[in-house]
Amino acid sequence: MLRVQNIQSGYGLSQVLFDVSLEIGVGEVVALLGRNGMGKSTLVRTVFGQLPLQTGRLSFEGQDVSGWAPDRIARLGLAIIPEGRQCFPNLSVREHLTAFAAQRNGNASQRWDLERVFDMFPRLRERQGNMGNQLSGGEQQMLAIGRALVTNPKLLILDEATEGLAPIVREEIWQCLARLREAGQTILVIDKYVERLIKLADRHIILERGRVVWQGSSAELDADRSLWTRYLGV
């Protein structure tokens, strides 16, 4: 579905990514791992066209999207739950979940709509009239996930989806991701909880100083704990 080929990217004269390549197949859950500052969020921003591609190629479903604007890329069926949630303070929960609704995955039988998001996160149903700035951090994270889901994406990207959340809310997010996996949703997830990602993801990619230093299955990552110490600080 997504193919990243030898891309280099960064901020102005500061290069962050060096010849990064990866692929995500339909229905796969892939975890992008690495310590803070290793280039994970930079890679996501580059995939979405928020940062210019210096060299390399990005393709989605076989179509070259290198250099495309973020809105054009999103309309192909990519959605992101960004780090920091970025909910609109002056939109209600219901407005968030209706204003961004779209059908981009072509699978009407699995369509995400307002009611289905409320079934996933009952707390949002209770808070549907509240503005974005009236929600707790956990509720904002649920809303950010719901906002992405109602676009019915082909590829869902989560950047630190459980960061800073209370354990009970974090568990609810993990359960949500497990349900999405069971439904066949293609996912790229960035998070630091390696034990949970091993149970969730099919494959893992480790970035170190802007380079891919390891790729492998959950079984392989679980078996080689030296990788955790060397690259993940676990």
> Could you say which architecture CATH assigns to the domain 1-77+155-161+186-234?
3-Layer(aba) Sandwich (3.40)
pLDDT at 109 over 70: no
> Tens digit of pLDDT for each residue in 3-47?
999 999 999 889 999 999 999 999 999 999 999 999 999 999 999
What's the count of helices (H) and strands (E) in the chain, helices before strands? 10, 10
Confidence (pLDDT) at 104? 87
> Tens digit of pLDDT for each residue in 193-229?
999 999 999 999 999 999 999 999 999 999 999 999 9
Domain ranges in the chain with CATH number 3.40.50.300: 1-77+155-161+186-234
pLDDT at 68 over 60: yes
Confidence (pLDDT) at 161? 85
Q: What is the phi/psi pair of residue 231, to 5°? A: -115, -20
Confidence (pLDDT) at 234? 53
Confidence (pLDDT) at 219? 97
What residue type is assigned to position 90 of the chain? N
pTM for the whole structure: 0.93
Cα–Cα dist 229/131, whole Å: 42
